[in-house]
Amino acid sequence: MRQTVYGLVVLLSFLASVAAFAEDRLSVQLIADGILTHAQQPVGLKPKSDYRAAGQAVVLGSYRLTSSLFAFYEGRMSHVEGLNHHDPRLRQTTTAGVLQGYLRYSTRLPSGLNLQAGKFGHPFGQFLTRNYADQNPLIGFPFIYTHRTTIRSNQIPASAYDFLRWQARSQPVPGYSTSADSPGGWLPLINFAYPAGLMAFGSTTRVDYRFAVINSSLSNPLNPARSGQTAQWVIGGGIAPFQRFRLGASFTEGPFLDPVISSKLPAGTVWRDYTQRALGADMQLTLRHLDLHAELLSTNFKVPCISQRLGATGYFLELKRTLTPRLFVAGRWNQIYFDRFRTGITNGERRRFDYNRYSLELGLGYHLFEKLLARGSYQLNRTVAGIEPRDDIAGFQLVYRFDPRKPAAQALVSRQMAERRCTLWLVWCRWEGNCGWLVPECAADQNP
């Protein structure tokens, strides 16, 4: 009987210790947002206005396995619903059960070296690290991440004329979509990419660096289960000349085509021969209540049946001004320039392979509560072409961030777990008539 009771006390004490152990090491956060949008439709389309409701929930988690080894997780679920007539009806739910899932090891070397393996955000550029609704100062996203170009991953052009025809393709709601998949294979210059691979990164007082080997390209990310994966490398880094000011750069190169089109490629070539090269620069500056972010991208694609590499240059400049502890205003200017064809157009015109685009988004945000943010924005989108689609968009958004493990709550739970563990041991030692072996924190609770 005594052995049974002793075993039960040991088991309950162990479970209480594990719970406290996990509570100290586990961190979980939830970010949820809802958006109402009103977009103008291009001329000739009906209805003239497009009304939508969209929402997204993001779960972020981390667990400290040892003092140097950490596990990270991110999952997302989003839904969009058409509020007026759409044919077919617009209702779509997208779930990314494991958007990110990786292990990180900190070497604790003076160089700040960390090693990371798994599925993680693409290390090119900086915006992906702050694309969450509570960190992005506007509702929309930079054009270089969302604008679908005439470059396709699943279709080979017969000649340069195909690009002129493809310029009439449809776009997602401008700047309000983060989906990495495009039904027509239309590729952005930079995607919201979460490839699988290995990365080494770190930082010192003024310098940061990163080097990664990943499984897919910047514009066409692939989940580990999909075909067409090939090792590609990314390198980046930055320097902080003085406090709150950083300049960075990134470079990557790798194939972007889907292997399913291998049979259609020119003789003697394979899909791995057709690559995307990208060179980027970024800047972050904070001056009192003003935050400035900027990114510049120069990229080009080697496309089948086209004699030249097709290039594009895009950038965005983003400002946020905090007016009061609750109120802020923000703006983002976007622009993309596309190369002209040097050959392939018989009438002598030097047409661009896609229309140049520019955009301005202005917004206002107000923190209703510590964790609840309300904001609205208006985005003006313009195409430099003979026919202007006039696809401006207005939006309103509510954002809520929930962290179930605030520091005070963590300390309270840990203390409660320790008290329960000590109570179990006190019951046992008093039954035995010998409490001299108790650990100090439990012995302090023993009554004379």
* 263 contact partners, CB below 8 Å, separation of at least 6: none
Angle (nearest 5°) at CA 403 between 399 and 408: 135
User: Residue 434's domain spans which residues?
Assistant: 410-443
107/145 same-domain check: yes
Within a domain: residue 49? no
Within a domain: residue 344? yes
User: Residue 68 pLDDT more than 80?
Assistant: yes
316/208 same-domain check: yes
Residue, of 5 and 86, whose pLDDT is higher: 86
325/431 same-domain check: no
415/308 same-domain check: no
Domains identified in the chain, total number: 2
Q: Is the CB of residue 194 less than 8 Å from the CB of residue 177?
A: no
For residue 42, whether the previous peptide bond is cis, meaning omega lies within 30 degrees of 0, is no
Among the listed ranges 224-233, 365-374, 394-403, which one has the minimum average pLDDT value?
224-233
* Per-residue pLDDT at 10: 41
Q: Is the CB of residue 334 less than 8 Å from the CB of residue 297?
A: no
User: Residue 191 pLDDT more than 70?
Assistant: yes
* Per-residue pLDDT at 15: 43
378/438 same-domain check: no
Residue, of 295 and 415, whose pLDDT is higher: 295
- Mean pLDDT computed over 2-29: 54
299/417 same-domain check: no
234/379 same-domain check: yes
393/414 same-domain check: no
Record the pTM. Answer: 0.81
> Using CA atoms, how far apart are residues 124 and 311, in angstroms rounded to an integer?
18
User: Residue 395 pLDDT more than 60?
Assistant: yes
Q: Is the CB of residue 132 less than 8 Å from the CB of residue 28?
A: no
CATH number of the domain to which 201 belongs = 2.40.160.10
- Mean pLDDT computed over 341-356: 81
User: Residue 16 pLDDT more than 50?
Assistant: no
319/347 same-domain check: yes
Within a domain: residue 41? no
Within a domain: residue 353? yes
173/109 same-domain check: yes
Residue with tokens 């009987």: 1
193/324 same-domain check: yes
Q: Could you read off the pLDDT of 112-165 as tens digits, one per residue? A: 899 999 999 999 999 999 999 999 999 999 989 988 899 998 888 988 888 888
Summary mean pLDDT of the chain:
82
User: Residue 72 pLDDT more than 70?
Assistant: yes
228/375 same-domain check: yes
* Per-residue pLDDT at 177: 60
Within a domain: residue 204? yes
User: Residue 430 pLDDT more than 60?
Assistant: no
Confidence tier at 184 by pLDDT (50, 70, 90): low
Within a domain: residue 62? no
* Per-residue pLDDT at 102: 96
Within a domain: residue 107? yes
Q: Could you read off the pLDDT of 217-276 as tens digits, one per residue? A: 899 887 777 777 888 999 999 999 998 999 999 999 999 998 888 889 998 899 899 999
User: Residue 442 pLDDT more than 90?
Assistant: no
Within a domain: residue 234? yes
- In the structure encoding, which two tokens stand for residue 161, read together? 């004329």
